C-alpha cells in the first residue's frame, strides 16, 4: 500500500469517526455521549478510536467546526449581487436541502446553542461577518425599494429558524402528514412554500 493509499485510508476513517460522533452528539448531547457509543456507531473498537482522538471533547469541537465550515461554504457560494428573489430563493433552497439531508448536523449545532454555545463563540466570528455582509445587501435592497423595510439580521434569523426546523421537527411533520418515520419529505414543495412566504412578506407596500 502506497503512502497515498494510507493517507486516504486515514482520511476515510477520520470522516467515519466524525460522522458517527455527530450522530451520537445529536442524539445524546456532549454529556450523554460516550466514546464507546461513538466507537460502536463507527464500527471500530474503543481502543482504535482513542488512537485517533485525544478526547470526546476534542472530537465534539472538531465536529462543530466541521459543521460551521459547511454552512460558511454554503453561504459563500450564494451570489450577493443577484436580485432579492434570486438570492433568497437560492439561499432558502440550500438551507432546506442541508437540513433535510443532514439533520444530525443541525441537531448537534442547535443543541450546542441551547446550552449557551460555550464552544461556538470563537468559531462564530466568520459567520457573523458573512451575516453582516448579507445584512448590508438586504439594507441596500430596502433603500432601493426592491423590498419593504426590514431588520436585515432578524430576516436572516427567521430564515434560519424556518429552514432548520425541518431537521429538528422532522418527526413531528411526518406524523402530521401521516408519513412513515424516516420517509423522505418533498424538498421541492417545502422550498416553494417557504420561498413564496418570504418573498411575499418582503414585497414593498406599493408593489
**Residues 122-162 pLDDT 10s:** 777 777 888 898 899 999 999 999 999 999 999 999 999 99
Q: Quote the mean pLDDT of the chain.
A: 90
Residue 41 sits at φ, ψ, to 5 deg, of -70, -35
What mean pLDDT comes out for the span 28-50?
Answer: 94
Cell 466514546 found at:
35
SS3 145: coil
Quick one: cell of 177? 402528514
CB atoms within 10 A of CB 67: 22
Domain range list for the chain:
1-53, 59-201
In CATH, what is the architecture of 1-53?
Orthogonal Bundle (1.10)
Q: Do domains 1-53 and 59-201 have the same CATH topology?
A: no
Higher pLDDT, 190 or 72: 190
Quick one: cell of 75? 453561504
Q: Do residues 84 and 202 touch, judged by C-beta distance below 8 A?
A: yes
Whole-model pTM: value is 0.86
Fold of 59-201: Tetracycline Repressor; domain 2 (1.10.357)
Q: Do residues 91 and 83 touch, judged by C-beta distance below 8 A?
A: no
Amino acid at each position: 500500500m502506497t503512502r497515498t493509499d494510507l493517507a486516504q485510508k486515514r482520511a476515510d476513517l477520520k470522516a467515519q469517526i466524525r460522522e458517527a460522533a455527530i450522530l451520537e452528539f445529536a442524539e445524546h448531547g456532549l454529556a450523554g455521549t460516550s466514546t464507546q457509543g461513538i466507537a460502536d456507531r463507527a464500527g471500530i473498537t474503543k481502543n482504535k478510536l482513542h488512537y485517533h482522538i485525544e478526547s470526546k471533547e476534542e472530537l465534539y469541537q472538531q465536529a462543530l467546526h466541521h459543521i460551521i465550515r459547511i454552512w460558511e461554504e454554503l453561504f459563500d457560494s450564494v451570489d450577493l449581487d443577484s436580485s432579492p428573489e434570486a438570492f433568497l430563493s437560492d439561499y432558502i433552497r440550500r438551507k432546506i436541502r442541508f437540513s433535510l439531508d443532514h439533520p444530525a448536523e443541525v441537531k448537534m449545532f442547535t443543541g450546542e446553542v441551547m446550552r449557551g454555545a460555550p464552544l461556538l463563540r470563537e468559531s462564530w466570528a466568520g459567520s457573523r461577518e458573512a451575516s453582516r455582509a448579507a445584512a448590508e445587501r438586504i439594507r441596500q435592497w430596502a433603500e432601493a425599494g426592491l423590498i419593504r423595510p426590514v431588520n436585515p439580521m432578524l430576516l436572516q434569523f427567521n430564515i434560519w429558524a424556518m429552514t432548520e426546523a425541518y431537521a429538528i421537527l422532522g418527526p413531528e411533520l411526518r406524523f402530521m402528514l401521516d408519513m412513515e418515520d424516516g420517509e423522505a419529505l418533498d424538498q421541492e414543495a417545502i422550498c416553494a412554500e417557504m420561498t413564496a412566504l418570504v418573498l411575499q412578506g418582503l414585497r414593498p407596500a406599493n408593489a
